[in-house]
Structure 1
Amino acid sequence: MTLASLIDLGVDVDHIRRGLDSLNVADLKLVVDDVKKCGFRSKFILVEHPEQKAHRHLHHIDAMIDAAKAITDSAKTLAKAIFLCVGKAEARVHGCDLQKVHFHEVGAVDSIADIVGVAIAIDALGVQSVSSSPVPTGTGSITIDHGRVAVPAPATAEILIGVPIAECAIESELTTPTGAAIIKTLTERFPSARPFGPSPAMVAYRVGYGAGSRDLPGQANVLRITMGELQSGTNHPGQLEADRVTLLETNIDDATGEELADVAERLFAAGALDVWQTPCVMKKGRLACVLAVLCGGSKVTAMQNLLFENTSTIGIRRQVLERTKLVRRSVTVKTDYGTARGKVVTLPNGNERFTIEDDEAKRLATAAKVTTSEIREKALLAWRSE
C-alpha cells in the first residue's frame, strides 16, 4: 500500500522496476493497476513471482540489495535500515541472535519488493522530512508461520514500541511488520518536528492513494500519502531534531525533602534526562508532591524499579511524549579566566546561541573568586569573537 501510494504520488514506476530487476530475483514482476475502494480511486500493487519457500537471513537480504546495480547507495542504505528494523524485532520476539533470524513472511519476495521499492521511491522524491498519523493496528487474531497470534502480530508490536497507536476496533490486521518498519524507519531517518500526530502546516503538492487487497467494513482500505513543502517556521532540516521520551509520574505524600533529593540523585545517576517535583494536594487534604522523571524508552524499567525501591509509591503513571530539540554541538572557549566548555544550539531561523556549561562557570568563578555572571559574560564574548 505504501509503494502503491508513492507511485500514485508520481514516482516513475519504470524507475522502480529497473531497481527491482537488478535484485536478480527470477521472474519478479511488478503489476500496477487502478482500483476503487468504497468508491475512491487508488493504485493497487501486485508482486508476481514463482512460489519460493526458502527463508532468508538478514545478511542474505543485505547482500542481495548491495549487489543491485540499478539502485542508488542512499536507497540501498534506507532499504537495509528497514530490514534491520524488522530483524531486530524478530530477534527480540524469538529470543535469538540478529544474524540468525529467519525472515519468514518478510523475507518473501513480495515483501522484499515492497521494502526495496519504497526505498527507491523515497530516494527518487528527495524526501527531507516524514510525519505520520498515529498507526492503526486493528484487532482480532491472524495465523502466521508460528500459529495463531493476536493482532498486532508480535513483530509488529515490537516495532511499534514508542510509536503512537490509533484506537481501532476493526477485526483485521491493518499494520504488518513490513508496514510498521517502513513508517518507523522513515520517521526516524527523515525527522520532523512532530513525527506522529496531525498533519503539519504545509503546502501540499501531490496526494497519492494506495489500496490494500482486502475490503474493510465501513471504510476504504486505502493509505494516503501527501507530499508538499513545510511552511516557514514549522521545521528546518538540520536545525530541529525530534525524538520520543517517556514521562513517569507518581504522587508522594510521606517522604522528607532529604529522601526525595536522594531519589532524584539516584535517578540521574541511572540515566534520567530530568527529574522534578511539583507540590500538590492529595485526597483528604494531604500535602504532597508529584515526582516526575523524564527518560528514554530503554531506561523506563530501571527508572520504575528505582522509584518502587526508594519511595513508598505503589503505582507509577507512564506516557510516551514526542519531543522537538534544537540541534546542538559542544565547543570550547578561551576566556581571561581559563578554558571552558559550552554548547551552541541552532535556532529555527538559522541563528546560533551559546551557553557555557553551568559546572564550568562555577569552576572558573570559584578559582578566580568572581561571580558566575561575570564568567558567563566573558565566555559569551569569547565565543562571539571566534
Structure 2
Amino acid sequence: MSEINRRGLLAGAAATAAFGALPVWQARAQAQNTIRIGVLNDQSGLYRDVNGPGSVSCVRQAIADSGVTQRGINVEVLVGDHQNRPDVGSNIARQWMDRDGVDVILDVPTSSVALAINTVVRERNKIFLNSSAATSDLTGAQCSPNTIHWTYDTYMLAKSTGGAMVRAGGDTWFFLTADYAFGHALERDTSNFVRAAGGRVLGGVRTPFPGTDFSGFLVQAQASRAKVIGLANAGGDTINSIKQAAEFGLTRRGVKLAALLMFISDVHSLGLETAQGLVCTETFYWDLNDRTRAFTQRVLPSMPNQLRPGMGQAGCYSAVIHYLKAVADMGAQQAKASGIETVNRMKAMPTDDDAMGQGSIRPDGRRIQPSYLFEVKSPGESRGAWDYYKLLQTTPAEEAFRPLSEGGCSLVRS
C-alpha cells in the first residue's frame, strides 16, 4: 500500500474513532450525515503534475465553495495513489467502499485503471466521477448508471485537435501510442477522423508505458514521411516525446507534432521555446474568462508549487461542486443510500461552476460543455507567467463530444 493511501486510511480511521467517542445515537447520526470522497489518482508518477495533489486541492476548494458544511453536511476526503495500475486501483477502491465508507471515487487518470474502477463501483452501487481518464468507452460500451465522465475524452480530443491538423494540411499521419487502453482509444478515434477527412494513416508504433526513450520510435515516424506525428500519450510521455523530437530537429524539417492530449503543466515543463506552435484541446484554461481566473485565484495558494490548475484538476472541482449540490438537494442520508439515484439526480440538474462553466449530463453519463482549441504562444507573445495559450476555435457543447446515438451505451434508449 502506498504511503499516501495509508495517510488517507489513517484519516478515515481517526474520523471513525471520533464517532466512537460520541454517544451511539449521535455517532450514527453524524456518520449518516457525513459524505466521504476518495480521490484516487497518480500521486507519485508521470501524471503527478497533471492530477496528483493538485486534484486534491481542487476538491477541497470545491467543498469550501459549496457551502454544504454550513448546512450541517460533513465532507471527508481520502487520498490514494493507484500507481497507474488497475490491480492497485481496484484494491484501494474495494477497501475504501467496503471498510471505510467511501461514497464517491473521483478523478482516476489512466484509462485501464478507470475501466476497472467503473466495474467495482457499479457492483457496490456507489458513485464514480471520472475527471481524468480519456477513454470514450466509459460512456460507450462500458457505460454505467453509477458513472459520470467529466472534462474530456478521446473522441473530443481526436475531433478537435486531429480535425484541425487535417484541415491545416496534415493529411498523412504516424502515431506514437502509449500501449494501454487510453493510447489505443486515442489512436483509434483520431485515425477515424483523419480518414473521414480524406487523410491517411501511414503507420504507428506502440510505446512502453511509461516511457523515457522515444528516439527509436521517432526515427520510425520520420522514415514514414508522414506530415504529422500523432502523440497518443500524455504527461511525462508527451513531454519526453516533444523534447526528443525537438532534439532531432523534426519540426525544423517541416514535420508537425499533434499533441493529442496535452496539459498546461506539460507546456510549463517544456517551456515556450520548445512548445511554441503546438496545438492542443482543453475544456479549461485558467485565463479563459473572469470566472476561471477567480477560481484559479482561490485555489492557487493550495496548489503544489503554485502550478496553475489543468483541466483534469479543474474537472475535479466542477464534479464535486455538482455532486454536493445534489447531496444538499436530496439530503446526505438519501444520497448515500443509492449511487444510481444520486447520479440520476445529478443528470437531471444543469451544471454550472466557476471552473468549467455551464453544461449538462447526458443519459450515457457524458458531461458536455464547449471544448477549446489552443495554440501555444511563442516567448515573444507571452505577457507574463503562465500566459501560454491563444484561443484558435471553440466547439459548442452539443458538437464537441460523440453523438449520443453513436456510443453504443446500454443506458440510451434507441
Structure with greater helix share of residues? 2
| Same-fold call, TM cutoff 0.5 | no
TM-score by length of 1: 0.23
Higher relative contact order (CA closer than 8 Å, sequence separation 6+): 2
In our comparison, the structure showing a higher alpha carbon Rg is: 1
What TM-score does the superposition give when structure 2 sets the normalisation length? 0.22
